Every structure is written in C-alpha cells, then in structure tokens.
Structure 1
C-alpha cells in the first residue's frame, strides 16, 4: 500500500544518536508512512544500523550514497519519495510520538499545503522528555503572510525544514542547494511562495539537539557566509516575482546580517580575512545605497547604526555591544 507520508532522514556520523531518532519515528501514532534513511557516506556504523532497521520494518528504505552533504542527502530522499506528503528529520534529533498525526490532521482540516509545529532545543547533557502541550492556537497564512514571517523575530521556526509537513508537489521543481550550508535559507521562501495555505499549530512536537560539533555550533568559517548568499538569492527571487515589500524588508535584514558576519569575521583567525572584510563592507554599501534610493523607512537607531558601519566599520565592531 502506498504511504501517505514520506519521512526523510539524512544520516552522517551520528551513531550515538541515530537509534533514538529512528525509534521516535517508528513509535508515531500515525502509521501510514515510509521512512527513507539516507546514509550519506557515513564513516561510522550508521549504514549498518540503518540496514538492520530496514530488516525489522517494511516501511523503511535505505539509500547508501557517496558523501555529498545534507542537501544532497535530502534531495536523494525527495527523488524516491512515494508519499503524498513529505517531512524531514535531522538524524540527531527526535520527535514526539504524535508529531506526524498532528501535522497531517492540520493539513487535512485546514486544506493547507504546509503544516508547522514548534520545537524545543536541548543539548547533549539534557535528556529531553516532551511534556503535554496544551496550546491550541492555530494560525492560518496565505503564501505572502507566511513569507512575511521570514522577516520577523520568529523567523527561525519558519525557515527551518524539519518542523513541517509538506505536500510533495511543492518539491516538484525545487531541491536544496548542494555544497552549501544554511541550505534552508536558500530554499524555504521558494516553497512558501508555492503554498496556497500554511497552518501553524504552535504545538511543541520536535526536539532539536544543539551539538557543539554541529554546523551551527562550530567556530566561524567562510562557509558560514553562505547565509549571506542565501539572503541575496531570496532578494532576487522577490524581485523577479514583483514582491517589492518583501524584497525591501529582506534587504534590511541582509544589511544587518552583513554587519553581524563582519564582526564574526573580524574576530576570527581566518587567513586573508582582510580581503573578505572588504568584500562584506562593499556588499553592505551597495545594499545600503539601494535602501536609500528606495526611501525605505528604518528606525532612527537603525539609520545611525548603518551610517556608522558604512563610514567606519571598525568603530562599529568596537561599539557593537552597546548599539
């Protein structure tokens, strides 16, 4: 029987965590799913562990592939997914046993293309246990309203891929960018734009492990500047689709992000960092000029901060904590 939901789990070097992740998926109250485990050339025993699980449950499919990174692994799962809906789980996280039942019911009840849940963060020294979540406030957004959420303080919940259930058709012509980190920043605005309706359940159903060795937890590297490129691609996407307000708001966020990464780069030990600092400053100046020409309104404080960075970025670095 064809599955309703395809759950895709990219796997690389997580033998310490993978059992708990897979067990949390197999214990779902929603049973009509296939679980696609993508062994992304993992150097530990994860590949063998996946094969053992596949022998125990017919719903499990295993892909063994050459290491290509998170985006490549997710894309491999999307390519073979049979379900009408798709979900992603990171292999060091785990989920509440009614996550997919809740997300599926929300999509059906509200005739949505995407359903979203909330998540809780934990670290390796904290044994996560989900408590009953009585919050029941539901939010319904159209595609533009959902995209606007990417420019709010709660954007993290909206931009991540793994706390959602999607109609598979949304991914018909969209894949994650291979060779990049911050892959969701390059991707989620395209998916949200294609959605007619998005339902946000606000229920805490996903446990997100923050490891010191993860991409987010590692020290600064030039790869982290992929975040800047992701925002630039988003701005170009909005321009092509005549979404002027979203383009302008995202450009303000881009300027803020450039300043933030400039400070991180300045305080790093990256080789030839002066070259990259000059690039970031020039990129800021070009976007700042576009903002000025567009007469985009920013707060007085924001305007002062932007001018300080434009004319004296090193002074901005010194003043950052008090600005």
Structure 2
C-alpha cells in the first residue's frame, strides 16, 4: 500500500482547521502521512495542530515563522516521504474517499498525476454553482467520464475553460518524483500559476476524474474576491513563463489560449495607477520579461492578439495607454 503524504498549511484559520483535519484523518485510505504546517499563526492554530498530532500518530507538525502559502507548502514538501503527495487547504475539506479514489485511479492506470472534480461552496455551505451564471464553466466537473491523457493534453482539455480547478495545488494527487527540484516561488501571489504547468510538463499519464471529492470554500477574503493590488501583477509574470514554456515544449496549439490570458491580465492591471512609481517600475520589469517571448510567437496568434503582442513588445505604456483612451472615448461616444 503506497504511502500518501497530505500537506495542510495552516495560518489564522482556527474556525475551519478542525473540519479540514477531521476530513483527512477520516479518509477510507488509511496509509497516510499528514503534515500540518503551522505558518506562524497568532491564533489557536499552532495549539490545535499539536492537539491533532497527539490524537493521531500519522500526523506530524511543522512550526515555522510566517512565510506565506508557498513557504508553508515547500516546508511540507521538504519533509514528505510518501510515494504520492496531496495538498488540502486548511479552510477547505475533502470527501471520505478523496485519497482512496485518486490512488486507485493512479494505480490502475499507472499514472503519476490524478485530478478530481470540485464542489464550490460559500462559507455557509451553499453550492456556488447553483447561483452562478451559466457561462461559469469552472464550476462544472472537469470531465464527464474518467479520462487518461498526458500532462500536456491535460492542459489542452481544460485550457480553453480558464478554470481554477486545473491550476490550483489541491484536488490533485502527484507522484512525489514530479516535485524533484521544483518548489513554489516565495513571496508571489498566484503561486499555483507559476508551478502547475511545469508539473504537467513532466506528467506522462494523468487521470481526470468526474467525481467531486474536494470542497473548495469561497470566503469574502479569498483571492478571487480580493482587491487588485501591486502583488496581483505577479500573475502577468507567471503567464509569461507559461507561454515561454509552451513554446519550448512545442505545444504551439496552446499558445493562443494562454497568450489571451496573459493579454487579459495586462488589461486587468489597468485597475492600478500606472503612473504610480512602484506600479510603473514593476510593469517595466514585466514588460522587459515579456520581450523574452520570441518574436516568432506572432505566427501562432490570431490577428487581434498579434496587434497586442506587437504593441506590448515595442512600446507597451504608449500602446496600452492608447487602448485605454480609445475605449474611454468609445464609451463617451456611445453615451452621446
């Protein structure tokens, strides 16, 4: 029976932690190594982690100074000894067969990566997709039936939906070797966007499951509801890396999809004041990084995105400034 290391970072989540840990220790698959990473919380989480370790010998606790989610996940990865790795966020919880279903799929299909479907809930336990607009595809199961594919094909099957379930660390089972020399980037927002595509690039066989086994709980303070800040620009950096990675892998059919996401992320950054010195300097760095996307990329893009590529590569501040001015003018014209 393969050992599965379940990594649970914990920081300022005392009202949710017991539910999360209880759902993991109650798994029908018993051969677990449960790693609770106390990321320097000032609430009751450190003591709660220790209390759980006293109840269940499979639990070990790492107490560390606060370093953020990437640092906490990395600390768990550094000590994990299981053949497989799973992540559970401490304000979420999982179905009793979360691990058993995924490990069974991995073993039967000789896979090194398994991804399950997700329940999206609000803090009161209401299913979010019941009130979501019809076009919110990210709330649908990731597949209608069990599928096997390569890691790159996994991105192909889900890339056009721009769903969070494909990118996040949780709702997945990883063979531990996938993490050799890979760790989450410290201090970055959207840390999953920096690493998941690199993991998928290493996956020979992935399994996609229709079973909803993970409960993602949306809170008012979660990243999807948070204000756009300087740190939000990290997503642009991550997507530049993803586009370059796809080009290096020869997955040119995916380039238009993820370049479009990159373009949209730059567009969204206009919520910030680009004349602010900190914002301006960060954008200058990002636009220099954008120029590392080779000029030959243009051949894979539709006409509209070719224009966005050329404008962003050559004179980004002027180009996006003109787009903003033009759109404001069009709105005023419509109003008249």
- TM-score bracket, shorter-length normalisation: 0.7 to 0.9
Q: How does the TM-score come out when normalised to structure 1?
A: 0.84
Q: State the aligned residue count.
A: 311
* Secondary structure in 2 matching 1:117: strand
Deviation, structure 1 residue 10:
0.5
Mark the runs of 5 or more structure 2 residues left unpaired by the alignment.
Answer: 128-140, 312-318
Matched ranges for 1:53-132 at <5 A: 53-126=52-125
- The yes-or-no answer on 1:275 pairing with 2:280 is yes
Q: Alignment partner of 2:299: what SS?
A: coil
Contact 1:309–1:315 (CA<8 Å) still a contact in 2? no
Measure how far apart 1:256 and its partner are. 2.2
Quote the residue 2:42 is aligned against: 43
Deviation at 1:294, TM superposition (A): 2.5
Q: 1:68 to 1:149 in 2, by over 3 A?
A: farther
- Structure 1 unpaired stretches of 5+: none
Superposed CA RMSD: 3.3
1:20-72 CA distances to partner (integer Å, 9 max, x unpaired)?
A: 11111111111111110000001111000000000000000000001111011
Residue 300 of structure 2 corresponds to 296
Measure, in 2, the Cα distance between the counterparts of 1:79 and 1:158.
24
Distance in 1 of aligned mates of 2:30 and 2:290: 53
Residue 162, structure 1, aligned to residue 164, structure 2: no
Query: Cα–Cα, structure 1 residues 318 and 200, in superposed 2: closer, same or farther, change >3 Å?
Result: farther
SS at match of 1:294: helix
Matches of 1:99 and 1:46, distance apart in 2: 24
CA distance in 2, matches of 1:196, 1:47: 38
User: 1:174: which partner in 2?
Assistant: 182
Task: Say which is worse superposed, 311-320 or 182-191, in terms of deviation.
Answer: 311-320
Distance in 1 (alpha carbons) for counterparts of 2:257 and 2:89? 30
For residue 272 of structure 2, the aligned residue among 265, 271, 275 is 265
- TM-score (normalised: structure 2): 0.81
Q: CA deviation at 1:158?
A: 1.2
